[in-house]
Each structure stands twice: as structure tokens, then as C-alpha cells.
């Protein structure tokens, strides 16, 4: 009974939140920083939505990483999924790091950069651990 009440409340709220999001104007433009790095140009209006979207994706990948880690303990063939998830996490961090931030959000983005740097350290540890496992003894 409680589950049906929870579901009956959650679905309209999710629909309301999903419908309340404004239409995205167009895909963000990119500005070439160097040959390997592109900065995405984000408007002041798009910035909060873009960062929230990236954070949600990162949270999902982090949860998927935990699930894959648990599966890898039981099945050694699932270890490749851990590295794939870490690579996807890095791409999301790139999306958050390499954007042209509107002046209004420069201070907030500095805090985000600190978080991105810390998260990069974690993904680097994951990748280094997988490289150490592949080396012959």
C-alpha cells in the first residue's frame, strides 16, 4: 500500500519536473582552445542546466562504477566494465571542465573545478590500478 502511494506521488512530480524544464535553444557551440581541447560556449541561461545535467550523469556513472565493482568481485570478466565506466566519468569531467563560463557563474565554477580536480584524482587511481593489474609479475 505504501509503495503504491509513493509511486502515485512520484510519477506526477517527475512528470512535472520533466515538463517544467525549458526547451534547450540549440546545442552548445564549441570554441577551439588547442588541437586536443575544445571549450564549449554556454549562455548564462544554459549554464545551470548544463552543469546539473553533467552532475547527474556523473552521479549515475559513479553509482554504475560501484555496481560494476561489486560484479567484478564475483566475475573477473566484469573488470573491463570498471575501466569503461572510469573513462566515461573522465569524459563527463571534461564536459564540466572545458566550458566557457559566463561571468555571473565564475565564482561558482571555481568550486566545481576543485571537485573536478578531486574526481580526476580518483579516476586516475582507478586507471592506474587497472594498469598495475595487467603487468606481468
DSSP class of residue 38 equals E
Distance between CA atoms of 88 and 93, rounded to whole angstroms?
A: 9
Q: Does the pLDDT at position 65 exceed 70?
A: yes
85-to-34, 40, 54, 62, 82 alpha-carbon distances in Å: 26, 23, 15, 8, 5
What confidence category does residue 131 fall into, taking pLDDT thresholds of 50, 70 and 90?
Answer: confident
In terms of average pLDDT, the best of 5-14, 47-56, 66-75 is: 47-56
Backbone angles phi and psi of 29, in degrees to 5? -80, 155
Cut 0.85: pTM above it:
no
What confidence category does residue 107 fall into, taking pLDDT thresholds of 50, 70 and 90?
Answer: very high
Q: What's the pLDDT at 24?
A: 54
Q: Is 71 exposed, middle or buried (0-12, 13-18, 19+ CB in 10 A)?
A: middle
Lowest mean pLDDT among 3-7, 40-44, 95-99: 3-7
Mean pLDDT of 74-98: 89
Q: What pLDDT digit, counting tens, does each position of 109-119 carry? A: 999 999 999 99
Q: Which of 67, 53, 63, 55 is nearest to 24 (CA)?
A: 53
Q: Does the pLDDT at position 5 exceed 90?
A: no
List b or e across 106-129, with b for residues whose CB sees 16 or more CB atoms inside 10 angstroms.
eeebeebeeebeebeeebeebeee
Q: What's the pLDDT at 12?
A: 53
Q: What pLDDT digit, counting tens, does each position of 12-39 carry? A: 555 555 555 455 555 556 555 554 567 8
Q: What is the CA radius of gyration of the chain?
A: 19
Mean pLDDT of 56-67: 94
Q: Which residue has the higher pLDDT, 66 or 33?
A: 66
Amino acid at each position: 500500500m505504501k509503495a503504491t502511494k509513493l509511486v502515485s506521488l512520484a510519477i506526477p512530480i517527475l512528470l512535472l519536473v520533466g515538463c517544467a524544464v525549458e526547451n534547450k535553444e540549440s546545442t552548445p557551440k564549441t570554441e577551439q582552445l588547442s588541437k586536443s581541447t575544445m571549450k564549449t560556449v554556454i549562455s548564462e541561461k544554459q549554464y545551470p542546466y548544463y552543469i546539473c545535467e553533467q552532475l547527474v550523469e556523473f552521479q549515475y556513472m559513479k553509482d554504475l562504477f560501484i555496481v560494476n565493482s561489486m560484479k567484478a568481485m564475483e566475475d573477473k570478466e566484469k573488470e573491463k566494465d570498471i575501466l569503461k565506466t572510469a573513462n566515461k566519468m573522465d569524459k563527463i569531467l571534461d564536459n564540466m571542465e572545458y566550458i566557457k563560463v559566463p561571468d555571473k557563474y565564475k565564482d561558482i565554477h571555481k568550486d566545481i573545478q576543485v571537485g573536478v580536480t578531486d574526481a580526476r584524482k580518483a579516476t586516475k587511481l582507478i586507471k592506474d590500478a587497472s594498469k598495475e593489474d595487467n603487468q606481468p609479475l
